[in-house]
């Protein structure tokens, strides 16, 4: 079993019950020093795809900006991890795995997650952005985190 930090659409418990049916949700937490962003606009079926990037510590400690991404930790079986890799396009080079430290109420946990193997930039569709906000809400993310997701710029239709 391996600890997986789900973010974006994989935050939704129903989605994860399909993608990793034998792997229980352990808890939620935060990737501190990371931010949710988008990239690979030409690779997504409906605009840019969600990813995370590590943010170097600010040179201005008084800036008041704290970068963090809400995540759900799942204890993945090997079979579920393999299935999730297929969903995330690891075999075609869409996403790669990285190790991250997750802050939880019980302390820091080491986990792995996916990052997009493409350049940052581009806008997600309104539908995709709404799906990410709905997933965060279903996973128990704070209201201000969900509201920030819903207020992000998105791709125009047409």
Contact yes or no for 74/24 (Cβ under 8 A): yes
Is 6 annotated to bind ligand? yes
Q: Which of 88, 106, 108, 148 is catalytic?
A: 88
Residues 6+ apart with CB under 8 A from 121: 38, 39, 41, 48
Is 58 annotated to bind ligand? no
Is 145 annotated to bind ligand? no
Residues 6+ apart with CB under 8 A from 74: 3, 4, 6, 16, 20, 23, 24, 25, 26
Is 141 annotated to bind ligand? no
Is 111 annotated to bind ligand? no
Buried b (16+ CB within 10 A) or exposed e, 110-136: ebebbbbbbeeebbbbbebbebbbbbb
59 catalytically annotated: no
Tell me the C-alpha distance between 143 and 118, whole Å. 30
Is 74 annotated to bind ligand? no
Is 114 annotated to bind ligand? no
Going by the annotation, the residues of the binding site for substrate are 4-9, 128
Going by the annotation, the residues of the binding site are 4-9, 128
Write out the catalytic residue numbers.
Answer: 88
């Amino acid at each position: 079993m391996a600890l997986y930090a789900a973010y974006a659409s994989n935050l939704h418990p129903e989605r994860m019950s399909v993608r990793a049916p034998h792997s229980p949700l352990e808890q939620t937490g935060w990737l501190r020093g990371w931010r949710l962003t988008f990239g690979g606009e030409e690779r997504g079926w409906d605009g840019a795809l969600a990813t995370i990037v590590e943010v170097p510590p600010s040179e201005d400690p008084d800036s008041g900006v704290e970068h963090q991404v809400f995540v759900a930790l799942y204890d993945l079986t090997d079979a579920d991890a393999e299935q999730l890799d297929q969903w995330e396009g690891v075999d075609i080079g869409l996403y790669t795995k990285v190790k991250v430290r997750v802050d939880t109420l019980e302390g820091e946990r080491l986990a792995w997650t996916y990052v997009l193997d493409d350049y940052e930039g581009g806008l997600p569709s309104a539908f995709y952005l709404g799906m990410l906000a709905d997933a965060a809400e279903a996973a128990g993310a704070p209201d201000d985190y969900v509201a920030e997701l819903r207020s992000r710029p998105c791709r125009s239709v047409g």
